[in-house]
Amino acid sequence: MVLKPHIILERLKEIDTALEELSRYREKSLEDLRDSLSLRWTVERGLIIVANLVFDVADHILGGHFSIYPDTYEESLRNLKGKKVISPELYQKLKGLGGFRNILVHDYIKIDLSEVHRNLSKAFEVFPAFSAEIQRWLKGVC
């Protein structure tokens, strides 16, 4: 696979679009999520979309630039940190995203709404930081 910066930049724009939509629900409380199935589904779906985009970007960079093909989402994040694509600080904030995504997508266990709410709250710090660090890395390699 060849690194295609325009694809990465498209995915980062999609992250921005998803976050813009999710921002409509930023002030919703945990109780709001508990009381409204429609709200819960909307927030969960938005978080799934952003997580999928993060892992798509990670896999594209790792495969296209480093010829690394991780087996798990968490391994993708560790490799981004190890290759200095993202900072250790950002890695710590993203760590666990793969498991959270899998719980939402596959319903492995009962979804903990407090985790959904926590991830919604931190999304507006973590995902823009991810985009910024990826863009900074891209400028250094392209």
Percentage of the chain lying above the pLDDT 90 cut? 94
Residue among 74, 97, 94 at smallest CA distance from 86? 94
Q: What is the pTM of this model?
A: 0.95
Q: Is the pLDDT at 56 greater than 70, yes or no?
A: yes
Instruction: Give the span between the Cα atoms of 57 and 63, in whole angstroms.
Output: 10
- Continuous segment of H or E residues that includes residue 45: helix 37-66
Instruction: Give the span between the Cα atoms of 99 and 104, in whole angstroms.
Output: 9
pLDDT in tens, 21-30: 999 999 999 9
* Residue corresponding to tokens 């993060």: 54
Q: Give the CATH number of domain 5-141.
A: 1.20.120.580
